[in-house]
Copies of this chain bind each other. A is one copy, B any other.
């Protein structure tokens, strides 16, 4: 199949590679020249602009940073005007439910079809093609592009016939995951402050009612002196910001997510925004007298 892929960043590039590996013909664009070179090496057709990549395409996947970039591409750079008739746009970025819902209306007015399909699973999932894809939009369109989605994701969820439901589902996941990451840091600091063996705490919690997926995944990196950046701190002020925006639109109260949004914003502002998101533990270290990272070599998990 022939399609366009716009946004070949940390997530987009491995997702596009999966499509190339499956034999699809992908025309791609990104503002980062280095990413385009990686894409070309993997067999991708490098376009000179997003507009050129999208020209006459019946399917375009957008994996850009935010809603503003989506609007810029579709309406300022005018991608929406050069796509094939009744083309399908798959938006994989994390956006608010309201934005996705409004975008569907705008695109329908131009005879275009939107699938709101944010993803979960990070860079690891993108590389392995094991992402969770939370899709919403017209059922028929979803069924049509399912083989394409299946190249990138293992769990394909259909959330409903209205765009926005996929983004809302992503919001539910980010709300939980963000809070559970932050509270893992709060709890590990509490454990260190009380002189507990942090490796033992990790083992006990992994088998107790306090267990969460984020605890099991991030705490080992919290204890490392300089973990690799698997997912950056700065994702959280952004993603929890979208959750709060969606909640505000619905007058729904989110006291816990609001607090945790603030904690991630503080962590970013303190200078750790580009670090691995397990670095929220540094906020607790800094605001207490507790050493959590690298307390002893034996604490490495």
Contacts and interface: CB of A to CB of B under 8 A. Distances in A.
Contacts of A197: 159-160
Interface of A is mostly: helix
Interface size class of A (residues with CB under 8 A): 35 or more
A175 B214 contact: no
Interface stretch (A29-37, A56-64, A251-259): A251-259
A256 B183 contact: yes
Contacts of A47: none
Given A162-B195, A169-B191, 6 more contacts: A132-B208, A172-B194, A176-B184, A186-B257, A189-B252, A251-B288
A250 interface: yes
A287 B211 contact: no
Given A171-B190, A204-B132, A176 B252 contact: no
Interface string A147-163: 00000000101011010
Interface string A61-74: 00000000000000
A284 B253 contact: yes
